Amino acid sequence: MIGGAGVSTKKRAQLVRRGGSGILGGTMKPRWGVALALALLVACPAAAELPPSDEEAARAAPTDAAATPAPPPPAGEIALVPGGRLIPWERLDDESFALARDVVSEALVFRQVDGIAFRSRKEVYDYLVQHMDFAADVARMLRVGKYRMHRTPTGFEADDGHGAHGFLRPLYDDGDRRVFYLQGRYDPPVLPSIAGRLVLVLDTSHTLAPDGENYAEMRVAGYLRLDSVLAEVIAAVARSFTEEMVQKKVKRFFRDVARVSRRAYDDPEGLIEELARHPQFEAERVAEFRQVLFAHRPPPWAEAVPFRLTLEALTLDPGDLSEID
């Protein structure tokens, strides 16, 4: 469960086409002027035509009152699109399946970012991903991030501090792989608002490196679908920029979690002290996070007793107890 939203494992057998809106976007660059001009050349001729007369409209009208919808694509076809196999489709519930399928099957851009590594312990990292509003607040306190996130009944409301805002909804979580759905818009300084949707797949593995430190390595895949004709034309003309934008936003989205997780690994005592002094954080939340930070440490009494953490139950010899007296 992430952000208060449960993750279902009910299977979905077929695909159903549905609509929607939203995106968390990127920054403005000069080449957008060229893209906009080309987009207007493509999009405006049709808008400049005179409207058809009543007689012409009648001849062009369909004979059937209700159009026959196109049949849904066969189940499994969605996995054949670029990056489609990264999503565990068979483990999504019906609603999550439809949200992800509508984006992935019509994605204008698919981008994958590998090799994001940082010092971290899994339990701390998992806590921060499950409480991304808290992670964003801590990142702003440390001045290493600008994201603002607020919990909602289905996930989080997010603002990246760079003109993009919308909603994030967790769709799947098995502890190592997570799937998120984002819906929103980007308000650039010159162009009209750009609406779209984004599906993110986050894979994380934790390993003990030869230097004795624990590291988390993230792989993030993003699928972008725009929800306006003009935005799609602009993005298609400037595809290389669109791909760069998606890659930058994908990395930025989880950067706050990575930075806070690394700080918690390197200086847990100092981080807790800063949180306890800051008026923004409730004492209950700080105490809860403290337990997560220090859960791996043995209790103080273990210093005077032969002690080690183990996953298996230990059988004590009666002679061992005499050493404690």
Q: Which two tokens stand for residue 57?
A: 């409209």
Residue 92 DSSP class: S
pLDDT tens readout for residues 52-98:
445 544 454 444 444 455 544 544 566 667 677 889 999 999 999 99
Q: Is residue 66 part of a domain?
A: no
At residue 244 the predicted structure's pLDDT band, cuts being 50, 70 and 90, is: low
When the pLDDT of each residue in the chain is averaged and rounded to a whole number, the result is: 74
pLDDT band, residue 160 (cuts 50/70/90) = confident
In a domain, 149, yes or no: yes
Orientation of helix 132-141 relative to helix 239-266, angle to 10°? 80
Q: What are 144-154's pLDDT values in tens digits?
A: 888 899 999 99
196 φ, ψ to 5°?
A: -175, -175
What is residue 124's three-state secondary structure?
helix
| Residue 115 identity | G
Q: Which of 201, 233, 21 is nearest to 111 (CA)?
A: 201
- Residue-level pLDDT at 317: 63
- Which domain does 177 fall in, by range? 73-266
Let me know if residue 34 belongs to a domain. no
Q: What is the mean pLDDT of residues 94-123?
A: 89
Distance from chain centroid for Cα 324: 51
Burial of 9 (0-12, 13-18, 19+ CB in 10 A): exposed
- Residue showing tokens 């609406």: 195
| Residue 295, strand partner residues | none
pLDDT digits (tens, 9 = 90+) for 189-239: 776 777 889 999 999 999 999 988 999 999 988 898 888 766 666 655 555
314 pLDDT exceeds 70? no
> Has residue 133 been placed in a domain?
yes
Nearest one of 118, 78, 102, 103 to 251, comparing CA atoms:
118
Q: Which residues contact 284 (CB under 8 A, 6 or more apart)?
A: none
Q: Looking at the predicted structure, is the pLDDT value of residue 283 above 70?
A: yes
Per-residue pLDDT averaged across 96-110, rounded? Answer: 90
- Model confidence at 102, in pLDDT bands (50, 70, 90)? very high
66 contacts: CB under 8 Å, gap ≥ 6: none
Please determine, for residue 9, whether its predicted confidence score (pLDDT) is greater than 90. no
- The residue-averaged pLDDT of 35-41 equals 34
234 within some domain: yes
Answer whether 103's CB lies under 8 Å from 89's CB.
Answer: no
- Per the domain annotation, does 132 fall within a domain? yes
How long a stretch of residues is the chain?
Answer: 325
**Which stretch of DSSP H or E encloses residue 168?**
strand 164-173
| pLDDT over 70 percentage in the chain | 58
Structure tokens at 254: 């989880």
What's the half-sphere exposure (Cβ side, CA atoms, 13 Å) at 133? 17
Q: Categorize the per-residue pLDDT at 44 as very low, low, confident or very high, splitting at 50, 70 and 90.
A: very low
Is 110 part of a structural domain of the chain?
yes
d(CA 17, CA 3): 27
User: What residue has token string 């590998």?
Assistant: 114
Three-state DSSP at 194 gives strand
Q: What's the number of domains the chain is made of?
A: 1
Q: Which residue has the higher pLDDT, 237 or 260?
A: 260
Q: Let me know if residue 221 belongs to a domain.
A: yes
81: domain CATH number is 3.30.530.20
Q: What percent of the chain has pLDDT over 90?
A: 38
